[in-house]
Amino acid sequence: MKYLKQLLIITFIAMIGETLNYFIPLPVPGSIYGLVLIFLALNFKIIRLDQVSTTGKYLLEIMPIMFVPPAAKLVSSWDMVKGVLLQGTFITCFTTVAGMVVVGMVTQAVIRRDKRKEAEKCTK
């Protein structure tokens, strides 16, 4: 029953995200709205982490399985893909590296900010 409740909470928030996607005319997927909503709900303690953590961990564990159907479709669409393979590979590599750089820089900035706050507390 615990897992069903957690799954219903996650599904309900995902449905709200999809509904927002329908009504808000921005090129943002409904899943992103759902992620933002669950982040805000957890951050503002509307939902406690223990109310969704077990099912969330399970969904993360099985996530690689969700890439099998698109990969199979990619293989079956080889004739259409081979013409843009070089460009696709370049874009994938570039965006991966760019994403890693941005995430690294943001992480370093947050760590530096936290260290400064700790240092200020110690000097007071």
pLDDT at 66: 87
**Encoded tokens for 77:** 């669409």
**Encoded tokens for 65:** 């399985």
Q: How far apart are CA 121 and CA 124, in angstroms?
A: 5
Q: Letter for the amino acid at 78?
A: W
pLDDT at 107: 96
Residue 74: pLDDT band (50, 70, 90) is confident
Residue 91: pLDDT band (50, 70, 90) is very high
102 has pLDDT over 80: yes
